[in-house]
Structure 1
Amino acid sequence: MVPFGKHPDVPPEILALRAGLAAIDDAGLDQRSIQAIFVGTAFGGTAMGQKILRHAPWGQRPVINVENACASGSTALLEAATWVASGRCDVALAIGVDTPASQGGGLIPLPPDDPLAAVGIPLPALYALTADHYLHHSGASARELASLVVTSRRHAAANPYAFFRTPVTVEEVLQSRPVAEPLTLFQCCPNADGAAAAVVVSAARARQLGTKVRLRAGQLRSGRVQSRFGPQSVVALTAREVYEAAGIGPEAIAVAEVHDAYSSALPPALEKLGLAPPYEAAARLAWGDYDYQGAGPVVNPSGGLLSRGHPPGATGLAQVFEVVTQLRGQAGARQVAGARVGLIQNQGGTVLDLETNAVAILLLTDS
């Protein structure tokens, strides 16, 4: 992947190309061995994959462009894996890219036909309502919610790919500019320019390359449900399908990259993933249960969306990059000791259908 941040002088297709070239080199493959390319972008416009291919040394290849909101990158990866698993190709490349920081900043644009956005309820307002709901039912405090940002920044300080790496205090988080009560600016993920990529190979090619990390299970689920909370939410249902397919339960997870677009998104997500009992995650996060010395898996060692930054099309593959790096034991100062099983949770949608696209991917290492 490439560092997330501001890249005003670099077109998105070049950021994507850099991420793709780096992923292929990292896999130990010749650049021309790529047989199919899947490109996820939420705001990159038409034919992003073809624009990348103009500059790439990969020759003429099938290119599949994927738009699935903030889950575009992880969806591109699942599509690449499907092609490989079906035998249609042996080596596929998945790339995710977006550059909202260089497109004027501000709120991520929403579809004009979204009913809630049309009446002035943007994403921060919906996540603020999520915060109100969660704080009311859990008994957690605003300080506990703000402390999640402190942990996020501390983790990101050890990640050279993260956008925001400067430590903050709870007071600084609470005193940052109000956005939608009770959320402040530091509790909202920064829009970032960036790209990330992953190579997917067949089992036979993996043995040749000595690849240790496997995609054990992945699932995409879409559709509305009556509640975004509890066991029938889209994220919870997707996670259960992945655990069942993999034959691995949440208790085995050592490291997790979770879609924390806002501080209020993280606690309920951990609960939906089976990593915390209902309405206990915020307190346990504040206690350090999901930190390096905690009782649970280490959550968002990359800094997550809150500190790594959020180029919507690239986020899912950046999560994959982090977990693969952890499972390889190559994460340096942010390494999770002995990590063998990792989970990625990525999601996207509109304001009305916030979790319309929920993706869960389980990775593990053979060693």
Structure 2
Amino acid sequence: MKAYVAGVGMTRFEKPETREWQYWDMAREAGGAALADAGITYSEVEQVPVGYCFQPSTAGQRAAYELGLTGVPVYNLNNNCATGSTALMLARQLVEGGCDCVLALGFEKMRRGALGAGTDGGDFATSPVARHYGVLAARHGFAATPPTAQIFGAAAREHMDLYGTTEAQLAAVAAKNHRHSAHNPYAQFRDVYDVAEVLASRTVHRPLTKLQCSPTSDGAAAAVVVSERFAARHGLAGLVEIAGQAMTTDTEESFASGSCIDVVGQPMSRAAARQAYERAGLGIEDVDVVELHDCFSINELLTYEALGMCGPGESGKLVESGATTYGGRWVVNPSGGLISKGHPLGATGLAQVAELVWQLRGRAGERQVAGARVGLAHNIGLGGAAVVTLVRAV
């Protein structure tokens, strides 16, 4: 049985403590928008997978109750930064297994400042990602800067040493995504910066500057996933098919090399992409628009290679060529990506799909990718999980 996205919604992503709201307020806004977009009511929803990382147990119920008290199952999910796409994946699986209408919901209310050792902010000895940071420490040592910036900064330096990638090419990723976000009313940041300004911003961990790092954010996103028979029965329009999807976790390849390029998830992403392409019967050559996990500028370059957009080590030249922006072969992160749109962990993967749905419907306004018919979402979390989703206009 096929699964379709019938409606999407999201809040604006905002700097923590900007607005007086709670996570259930965000969920009500995003979930209500997704239901309205689909043209259905919450009473027609059969199951609700909910993703978040920093809220307490059963926060999913507290959030979903804002939409209705119908007694349907609510699942609480946490897969680090890949949490939103995990909720979407469970929704798809539920529909393919026989459900007719599932609401995937993701949200996060965060604290200001950099993330700690794990989603609980605890120490490294008990962190779920202690093994990952052990690779960093063994090869590069450990500094006093934010840990996620350290591990991705180390991956960037390895890429530079191996392939000659330049700091200007890393900065070009951020400049592109900040430029794209200027047209996104949901983005946390809408200021435009050129490469020189990106490079001149404060260094967080060499070679990554502040404007190359995704911020902490508050926000929520949601998607209504339905079966073909439900869509036909309700006369739903604007459907987008989930054509192929895969989740992978770490394998021996992630750790065997002792490389931070591998430990931050490039092998996971490569495997997830391969599986998603096979399931969809599509390849990267069929894709028009991409929303990928640019938590740091280097991860966008690593993901180009993992998705097959270029060969190993060629990603710096790819972004420099203009191939991943308007007028190029693909438009990558038309929303502004995590770097500029924001990154409330539980909402990110669903917000990526919301952007793709608007793009494939031709309703993305000034950031519309002309003629977009196939989209790809890539969402990754250390610890680890990588989810690649291919969506296709109906």
TM over 0.5: yes
How much has 1:53 moved relative to structure 2? 3.0
Query: Which of residues 253, 265, 269 in structure 2 aligns to 1:226?
Result: 253
CA–CA distance in structure 1, aligned partners of residues 378 and 247 of structure 2? 10
CA–CA distance in structure 1, aligned partners of residues 169 and 51 of structure 2? 34
CA–CA distance in structure 1, aligned partners of residues 223 and 46 of structure 2? 13
> Which amino acid is the alignment partner of residue 75 of structure 1?
T
CA–CA distance in structure 2, aligned partners of residues 280 and 311 of structure 1? 30
CA–CA distance in structure 2, aligned partners of residues 268 and 106 of structure 1? 22
CA–CA distance in structure 1, aligned partners of residues 106 and 61 of structure 2? 14
TM-score of the pair, normalised by structure 1: 0.93
Aligned to 1:311: 344
Aligned to 1:183: 208
Task: Report which stretch shifted further, 132-141 or 184-193.
Answer: 132-141
Is this contact kept in 1: 2:27–2:64, CA < 8 A?
no
How much has 1:177 moved relative to structure 2? 1.2
Query: Which of residues 232, 235, 241 in structure 2 aligns to 1:214?
Result: 241
> Which amino acid is the alignment partner of residue 21 of structure 1?
G
Aligned to 1:273: 307
Is this contact kept in 2: 1:225–1:233, CA < 8 A?
no
SS at match of 1:314: helix
Query: What is the count of residue pairs matched by the alignment?
Result: 357
Is this contact kept in 2: 1:178–1:184, CA < 8 A?
yes
Aligned to 1:46: 57
- For the pair 1:55 / 2:55, whether they are aligned, the reply is no
Is this contact kept in 1: 2:15–2:216, CA < 8 A?
no
SS at match of 2:308: coil
CA–CA distance in structure 2, aligned partners of residues 26 and 58 of structure 1? 20
Q: Deviations over 1:255-292 (max 9, x none)?
A: 00010000111111111011112111111112211111
CA–CA distance in structure 2, aligned partners of residues 14 and 20 of structure 1? 10
How much has 1:162 moved relative to structure 2? 0.5
Q: CA RMSD in A?
A: 1.8
Ranges in structure 2 where 5+ consecutive residues have no aligned partner = 1-9, 255-260
- For the pair 1:203 / 2:247, whether they are aligned, the reply is no
Aligned to 2:258: none
Query: Which of residues 76, 80, 96 in structure 1 aligns to 2:91?
Result: 80
Q: Deviations over 1:295-343 (max 9, x none)?
A: x211000000010010011100010000111000000100000000000
Q: Deviations over 1:114-134 (max 9, x none)?
A: 336587561100101111111
CA–CA distance in structure 2, aligned partners of residues 305 and 151 of structure 1? 12
How much has 1:135 moved relative to structure 2? 1.4
CA–CA distance in structure 2, aligned partners of residues 123 and 306 of structure 1? 14
Q: Tell me: CA distance 1:232–1:107, structure 2 relative to 1, closer, same or farther (3 Å).
A: closer
How much has 1:190 moved relative to structure 2? 0.8
CA–CA distance in structure 2, aligned partners of residues 6 and 189 of structure 1? 11
Task: Report which stretch shifted further, 259-268 or 1-10.
Answer: 1-10
> Which amino acid is the alignment partner of residue 105 of structure 1?
G
Is this contact kept in 2: 1:225–1:232, CA < 8 A?
no
Is this contact kept in 1: 2:220–2:347, CA < 8 A?
yes
CA–CA distance in structure 2, aligned partners of residues 98 and 91 of structure 1? 24
Q: Tell me: CA distance 1:93–1:232, structure 2 relative to 1, closer, same or farther (3 Å).
A: closer
> Which amino acid is the alignment partner of residue 177 of structure 1?
R
- For the pair 1:97 / 2:107, whether they are aligned, the reply is yes
- For the pair 1:6 / 2:8, whether they are aligned, the reply is no
CA–CA distance in structure 2, aligned partners of residues 64 and 212 of structure 1? 25
CA–CA distance in structure 2, aligned partners of residues 17 and 62 of structure 1? 17
> Which amino acid is the alignment partner of residue 176 of structure 1?
S
Query: Which of residues 151, 154, 159 in structure 2 aligns to 1:129?
Result: 154
How much has 1:50 moved relative to structure 2? 1.1
SS at match of 1:42: coil
Is this contact kept in 1: 2:291–2:334, CA < 8 A?
yes
SS at match of 1:313: helix
TM-score of the pair, normalised by structure 2: 0.87
Aligned to 1:37: 48
Aligned to 1:139: 164
> Which amino acid is the alignment partner of residue 287 of structure 1?
S
CA–CA distance in structure 1, aligned partners of residues 349 and 163 of structure 2? 28
Q: Deviations over 1:37-90 (max 9, x none)?
A: 110011122111111133222522110111111111100111011111111x21
Query: Which of residues 262, 276, 279 in structure 2 aligns to 1:245?
Result: 279
Is this contact kept in 1: 2:266–2:303, CA < 8 A?
no
Aligned to 1:262: 296
CA–CA distance in structure 1, aligned partners of residues 369 and 353 of structure 2? 15
Q: Tell me: CA distance 1:211–1:26, structure 2 relative to 1, closer, same or farther (3 Å).
A: same
Alignment of 1:348-367 (within 5 A): 348-350=381-383, 356-366=384-394
Aligned to 1:353: none
SS at match of 1:64: strand
Task: Report which stretch shifted further, 304-313 or 105-114.
Answer: 105-114
